[in-house]
Structure 1
């Protein structure tokens, strides 16, 4: 196995994105790579086709649509935690199948990991298809900053709380941040094991925020590495049912916030979170359905 790197991607009928993901991967690293497709119930045949076309792929059927974090944990357990200890892969990659790899992007992340020995997670600069840079490196959401971003962000895009939370006014630089987008991460195996991987209560959304928070609390760092670049097409699963996904986002946000304020005397705060998120979810879901003509 030696320098072999495991790349985990969670598939759910990924369509042509998966082929682009796999075809561009050799440009990202000079290391030999094994790609584990943790499949959450694809029906389009894409993972099976990839298995035939790319000899370095492996297909792990999770048995259903278990969610992103749970699928990643299954793949890590199957292909890393039970690996021969003499091989001991120090790092692995988790990435969405709608990512297109930039030249040397993974090797650049690995080089940064050598500079940051306490980095538990490292993330690249993520470009959107329209050429803009996605704010993939952010602060942890505080009550004020995160709350105002959640409440006014959908209606006032340029508000100062959203800009601060997303670090929109920061120049791209290699630095420690609160959390990194789960769309593409280089993870240190010992750090991931230290925090027991992704929290499987999150079906989708916020699992990367939660992971970044728990890594930091365990003494690890989340390091943004903008010299590594990928393109994220964002067409895998989030766009199929926007209303359903928006509702899931708000449920995950409540789980995250409630965990951070668990004491009995913080119950009114948790109630306020629940009420505000319910109102916001109702507004944005209705707006999404109107756009789709429902």
Structure 2
């Protein structure tokens, strides 16, 4: 019973990372003060995971999830929340309960209360109710990061309350946060564009704007070791700070010139003016330099965001492999992070900075910038080159060539021509993008690659299971493929379409209705999608280098594709897959009929594709090509 009411069931959710000793202390405190509550722990993969696994036998009553990667805090909490229907206590592994949270649990049972936190004992100094913060603004966030927030407590520029609040109009710190299941069900889970930090405050902002309340309970039943899971490792501390800053920028509203971008500009000023920030920068730069292999330049990669696209996935794979080879690597996102963030190795520094702020600390002056060819990335590169006179810039093109006209606008092409070299995806790709305009005298070829995969082999069978995996935009032509198959109603086939995008609803409406066609929506990756089909179809009217083809070839899936962009190079001019020369429904129907009638025709093509992918389109081969370009421009 709580205040005369039956206590609602409470599940304790903990996301662990690195420190098994802190997690043990946390779990012991839960057992002492919240015995009878269900406890779920998600361990994000780290060098500390083996020690965390050893705790499983000590705590058999805990429900454990051991992730095979570090998926971030938001995704981990969402994963745990899906396993329970109770109210939830989100408890940091470096937090220790000192009481039963009776007042907090009672407050959570009040009408329209979304989240409650107790007061928190920590070593940061100041009142134990500083876990509650006022509404965030750019100026308040900058004042807080400067360390003057507490001194200006109660002033308009500070996010610290002048006295202990009850109701909170900003947010509650997430180290010990109780969340109502009703509010969670209504509002949805954490936004997974936040990898670490910011997701709880963004969720609370949604709650507040939808009429829910945030409450600080008048009890200090938790002790918190701030930064405990990162303490003692300068680079881990830097990564945590980078992610904290990015989360704050996203929370404020990240766009090219939005509040989040103004916030990051202010942080750059603080980093270069305030003594404590300068000292942190020097210490972290020295730690990064000490880990670098002598003679290797610093590598700075850019991406607008880490969304589920071929170019973005290539950036992550390249960053990870260059880091493994001893280069100090930084990846700068110019707009947002994204769903590929968990795939980035922790050794790669990840920062969020708008294109007009090319101020990224690198451990060595000898540096190479590798960007895509978008307006934002070219603008970033131009600014970076102006600030780093000895730095080199490689512009890696991933855009399909425009038919009959220049691919890039005149201004963008002029900026590209000032780079130290352009990287194209294949000889055919380079020829196509330079057919109508000059880009650079110096160019290199670096095909995209994927990690080595198990060739699952192709077994001819009926029905022939066809499929697509792509971003659903009109030029990908799923409606054209369905139209082609509509002409083959007499044959035995199915079609599974995976992917989401801005045109999905329109494309579904454009496609002929057919009960053998299934639209699945977003897919977490190739293996998930490839479980539903055996033959990949790529009916696009324009492509540069469709990475999904390499993903399929590497796994032994046969490919049927429009003969656009680099596809003829990928499929060895038809020796490793089926090429459809004319991108029309009639041409696709003509190409598909014989292989649906006799799927054994695809067996030698699938085998040839698997051999070709293993030889030419691996991450090692891609990185070798980039290393050649890096060495050439230094």
TM-score range normalised by the length of the shorter chain: 0.7 to 0.9
Please tell me whether the aligned partners of residues 177 and 224 of structure 1 are also in contact (alpha carbons under 8 angstroms).
no
Please tell me whether the aligned partners of residues 18 and 46 of structure 1 are also in contact (alpha carbons under 8 angstroms).
no
Aligned residue among 16, 31, 38 for 1:26: 31
Q: Could you tell me how far apart the structure 1 residues matched to 2:186 and 2:68 are?
A: 26
Deviation (angstroms), 1:170? 0.7
Instruction: For residue 93 of structure 2, give the secondary structure of its aligned residue in structure 1.
Output: coil
Residues 227-238 of structure 1 aligned to structure 2 (within 5 Å) = 227-238=219-230
Name the structure 2 match of 1:39.
43
Q: State TM-score, norm by structure 2.
A: 0.39
Give deviations 1:100-158, integer Å, cap 9, x for gaps: 101222x33111223x22111100111114775362101121244334434xx336862
Q: State TM-score, norm by structure 1.
A: 0.80
Name the structure 1 match of 2:74.
69
Question: Cα 1:229–1:282, aligned 2, differ >3 Å: closer, same or farther?
Answer: farther
Please tell me whether the aligned partners of residues 138 and 263 of structure 2 are also in contact (alpha carbons under 8 angstroms).
no
1:165 maps onto 2:169 in alignment: no
Q: Could you tell me how far apart the structure 2 residues matched to 1:285 and 1:202 are?
A: 24
Question: Cα 1:270–1:68, aligned 2, differ >3 Å: closer, same or farther?
Answer: closer
Q: Could you tell me how far apart the structure 2 residues matched to 1:271 and 1:20 are?
A: 39
Name the structure 1 match of 2:96.
100
Question: Cα 1:285–1:72, aligned 2, differ >3 Å: closer, same or farther?
Answer: farther
Aligned residue pairs total 272
Name the structure 1 match of 2:20.
15
RMSD of aligned Cα (Å): 2.9
Higher relative contact order (CA 8 A, sep 6+): 1
Instruction: For residue 253 of structure 2, give the secondary structure of its aligned residue in structure 1.
Output: helix
Give deviations 1:29-68, integer Å, cap 9, x for gaps: 35x1221111110433343232211222111123311111
Q: Could you tell me how far apart the structure 2 residues matched to 1:166 and 1:76 are?
A: 30
Q: Could you tell me how far apart the structure 1 residues matched to 2:142 and 2:47 are?
A: 38
Higher relative helix content:
1
Please tell me whether the aligned partners of residues 96 and 223 of structure 2 are also in contact (alpha carbons under 8 angstroms).
yes
Please tell me whether the aligned partners of residues 113 and 214 of structure 2 are also in contact (alpha carbons under 8 angstroms).
yes
Q: Could you tell me how far apart the structure 1 residues matched to 2:243 and 2:277 are?
A: 11
Q: Could you tell me how far apart the structure 2 residues matched to 1:131 and 1:155 are?
A: 13
Give deviations 1:218-261, integer Å, cap 9, x for gaps: 211111113242000235434332222222222222212225xx
Please tell me whether the aligned partners of residues 145 and 165 of structure 1 are also in contact (alpha carbons under 8 angstroms).
yes
Higher relative strand content:
1
1:137 maps onto 2:141 in alignment: no
Please tell me whether the aligned partners of residues 246 and 281 of structure 1 are also in contact (alpha carbons under 8 angstroms).
no
Q: Could you tell me how far apart the structure 1 residues matched to 2:149 and 2:219 are?
A: 31
Larger Rg: 2
Question: Cα 1:242–1:174, aligned 2, differ >3 Å: closer, same or farther?
Answer: same
Deviation (angstroms), 1:3? 6.0
Give deviations 1:186-214, integer Å, cap 9, x for gaps: 11012122222111111112222212111
